[in-house]
Amino acid sequence: MIFHHSVVSVLVVALPAVSLLAAAQERKEFRYIVGSKATISITNNCGSITVKPSGNDEVVITAVSRSDAVTFENEQRGNRIELRASSRRQGAGLADYMVSVPADAFVSLRSSDGRLQAEGLRGDVILEAATGAVDVTNIADGHIHVKTFSGPVTLRDIRHSHLDIFSVGGDLNMHNVTESSVEAHSGSGRITYDGDPGTSGDYALTTHNGDLDISIPAGASVEIKSRSLKGEADQPIGSLATIPAAGQKNHFLTPRGIAASRFILRSFRGKIHLNRP
């Protein structure tokens, strides 16, 4: 009898704890109908934001709260929707947004520590974060603006788009950004590009203290101008290069007159590495 009583006591103590864990997460869903090229503005300083295409004219919002201190505010004014998550407590991970929008929508995402993700969109996209990471994937015919303080930025499978990327200290990573116009700047972070830029891309990549690592297939048509004032600029394998001034190199990796993408690489103190695998 004594053994049985002890087991019952443990269960009585444990069950309320399980109930509290289950009640700690709250999920809400909101739906709105919008017209062509709607504007969707989302601010979440206590968690992440993920945006994907809905495939129709509907905006579907799933808001997940992990704290009773979080408040969600949603407002629609005609073709504009504004979403905001706020909390009486500080810190990331308290609330997350998962949002589906029409692919041609103008999307603005803002967070401090939370991760920002945009995938499969075709309209203009603005992403602003402090320390949170930014991940942009599978964008075509769009205009992408990214600003971070120290958060890393990853851009993957971007086509026929215009990109303005700025970070004070975060790394900038580009994979298969093709036939696009890119202005990318990082104060102390590393800038990495790998993939085939196509024949009409224009890539201006600048870093102050960080390195630039550029990897372009040997068969790609490119012209590269690189300059590092106090670092080093490596010559890619198999290229022809003239060096008009110390620290600067011009690489014509395709015959003149042939369509080619252009890279302008600048670093004040960092190294510039060019690779032609």
pLDDT at 86 over 90: no
Binning pLDDT at 50, 70 and 90, where does residue 247 land?
A: very low
The answer, yes or no, to whether residue 168 has pLDDT greater than 70, is yes
Hunting for tokens 């670092």 — which residue is that? 231
**Full-model pTM:** 0.82
- Contacting residues for 250 by C-beta, under 8 A, at least 6 apart: 223, 224, 225, 241, 242, 243, 244
Does the structure show a pLDDT above 70 at 213? yes
Q: Check residue 260 and give its pLDDT.
A: 84
Average pLDDT (21-43) is: 86
Does position 15 have pLDDT exceeding 50, yes or no? no
pLDDT tops 70 at residue 111: yes
* In the chain, where the domains are located: 24-104, 133-277
Which pLDDT belongs to residue 219? Answer: 83
